[in-house]
Amino acid sequence: MGTVTLGVSIAVPEPYGSLLQERRASFGDPAAYGIPTHVTLLPPTEAEAADLPAIETHLSQIAAAGRPFPMRLSGTGTFRPLSPVVFVQVVEGASACSWLQKRVREASGPLVRELQFPYHPHVTVAHGIAEAAMDRAYEELSSYEADWTCGSFALYEQGTDAVWRKINEFPFGDGGGAPAVPAQGGSAVDQPSLRP
């Protein structure tokens, strides 16, 4: 069956997700429309395709033990010079994200991996682009604010076209209390225009 590249993340819901995706594209980030706007719980990770059922069971168990929690984004930050990333900060919900990402990668599960950097929940809005464009992203989104109740996380697979697609969504607890997050992604052609 071969290997697949997987990621686990919390999608940023509409209208915020598409707006930030549009802004990321406007800064010249070529990956903008291939990556749904998200907070990472598991960065891109190679796995055996045959392990997908075990991975989904593992994620279902984590979600069943979780509960919806408030998420709030506010302002920008950067990982420069260590990593060429500008992001919108997670100012509420970070501890819940940290708890979730530890469970996803726990030693007893099928997604064990070490992280390159300490975990820091965030929403990337520019990555690996010209410094001037990174500065623009940092400045233009410095007053950005969004909040919602996080009711789930999802498993994504990266296609050979470098686009990330949702495989399955895992609602917390009994699945009540928060609506499912709509899928994002696609190309600039099929994205609605949400420029401010």
Residue with the two structure tokens 């997050």: 181
Percent of the chain whose pLDDT exceeds 70: 88
pLDDT tens-digit profile of 67-96? Answer: 999 999 999 999 988 889 999 999 999 999
With 70 as the cut, is the pLDDT of residue 189 above it? no
Give the confidence band of 21 by pLDDT, cuts at 50, 70, 90: very high
pLDDT tens-digit profile of 92-143? Answer: 999 999 999 999 999 999 999 888 888 999 999 999 999 999 999 999 999 9
For the ranges 13-22, 136-145, 187-196, which has the lowest average pLDDT? 187-196
Residue with the two structure tokens 């070529």: 30
The pLDDT score that the predictor gives to residue 182 is: 40
Rounded to 5 degrees, φ, ψ at 191 are -90, 135
For the ranges 22-31, 112-121, 149-158, 168-177, which has the lowest average pLDDT? 168-177
* DSSP states of the chain: --EEEEEEEEEPPTTHHHHHHHHHHHTT-TTGGGS-SEEEEEEEEEEEGGGHHHHHHHHHHHHHH---EEEEEEEEEE-TTTS-EEEEEEEESHHHHHHHHHHHT-TTSS-----SS----EEEEEES--HHHHHHHHHHTTT-EEEEEE-EEEEEEE-TTS-EEEEEEEESTTS-SSPPPPP----GGGSPP---
**How does the average pLDDT of the chain come out, rounded?**
88
Q: How far apart, in whole angstroms, are the C-alpha atoms of residue 188 and residue 44? A: 23
Q: How far apart, in whole angstroms, are the C-alpha atoms of residue 138 and residue 74? A: 12
The pLDDT score that the predictor gives to residue 115 is: 86
Q: How far apart, in whole angstroms, are the C-alpha atoms of residue 42 and residue 5? A: 11
